[in-house]
A and B are shown apart, each in its own frame.
Chain A
Amino acid sequence: MNNKPKLLFTSKSAPLILKAFDKGIDKNGLIIENSTKEPVLTPDNEEININEFGGLKKGSEIFIKDNLYSIMKLAEGKI
């Protein structure tokens, strides 16, 4: 059994999740590092718009899109 906690957020509270990790959103809606203003990347080296932000996983910070491909990889434990 998976004993790890899980936190479910809403699209409205997504910026709060980003704030907890010192991330922000640029003028184009891309999620960025606040310190460098560089876009964060998914494991497939894709930039993420806030509208397609699926979540975050440890390792150290793995950003996940909310599409089926990312969900499949997450369910399979491949990200």
Chain B
Amino acid sequence: MPNTHHQKKKYHKKSALESIEKYAEKKNTTIILIDDLLDPPNTPYIWDHKDKILTISVPRLQKLDEDVLLCLIRKVHSQGGILFNRDKNDVLESFKTYLDKNSNKKILDFFRKKMPESDFEALEMSLFLREQSKKGDDISIYKKEIRDKFGPRGTNISNLCSAGYFEDEFMKLSNELETDEYNAYYELAVGIRARALFVNSEMNVDTIEKAFDGMINKAIQYHIDKFNIHGIGKTNIDNIKKAISNKLKDADSTYSIEKVRHDKNIIEYCVTVNL
């Protein structure tokens, strides 16, 4: 004798799986896998017709038929769709939107063939982060990723980018100087880090003063007559002010220091070195 209860359950399972496959095949569908149960808990999926989002409860569908889920995953891939971690999807979408806006096209087109490829990649990432930072996003984790990927040189590119050196200085110099001359200057600024000192939160007054002395030595060694000191945030600003005050007490005729910017949250000094 047939088990009607079993037949009923089977029917629902088949129906649910067919619906999932049908919705997944629709154009522009986004499938979202979630770790929780839906409401009601026996529902394996929810279809949002308006936004074409198919939300699937992984534990529920695994219980019904994991093979359907595995087939679905393979099908998205075979159709050329991407499988992506939800935690990073917002960043991916922000990057796509940023690229569509093309807001830094002029800078990127200018520098594309003028710098090593890895520097250019660091610049691309830095320009994106600069835009995100302007919008108020926390970019600290990604600044760290630039350091991890490109080392101190990448961090310096990121800082120089944030401070506007690429459009305000490098672009202009590239147009004015001979290529060899410009490349040498670029390397001093980017590789040797002799053009600007960026103070970060891990630096105290003492380390800022030591870094200052290091910059003076580089200026003398490489014949660079000025460098700038940049700081963002109250603690960095206070520490820079104290360090500069100490350096002015010690100052001889080797250098002079001029404050060139002091907004609420940003400070910048220009140090002129008498070579």
Q: Which residues of A contact B (CB under 8 A)?
A: 1-14, 16-17, 19-21, 53-58, 61, 64, 66-69, 71-72, 74-76
Contacts and interface: CB of A to CB of B under 8 A. Distances in A.
B33 A58 contact: no
B85 A7 contact: no
Interface in B63-106: 69-74, 76-89, 91-92, 95-96, 98-99
A75 B80 contact: no
B77 A58 contact: yes
Contacts of B98: 75
Given A7-B31, A56-B77, 10 more contacts: A3-B27, A4-B80, A6-B29, A7-B30, A8-B32, A8-B85, A17-B83, A21-B74, A68-B128, A76-B99
Interface of B: 24, 27-35, 58, 62, 69-74, 76-89, 91-92, 95-96, 98-99, 121, 124-125, 128-129, 142, 145-146, 148-149
B82 A4 contact: yes
Contact of B87 (A11, A72, A74): A11
Nearest to A1: B28
Contacts, number: 134
Given A3-B27, A5-B76, A75-B99, A13 B33 contact: yes
Most buried by B among A21, A64, A69: A69
A55 B83 contact: yes
B201 to A, nearest CB: 21
Given A20-B70, A68-B91, A74-B92, A5 B79 contact: yes
Interface of B is mostly: helix
Contacts of A19: 70
Contact of B33 (A1, A10, A66): A10
B87 A2 contact: no
Contacts of B30: 5-8
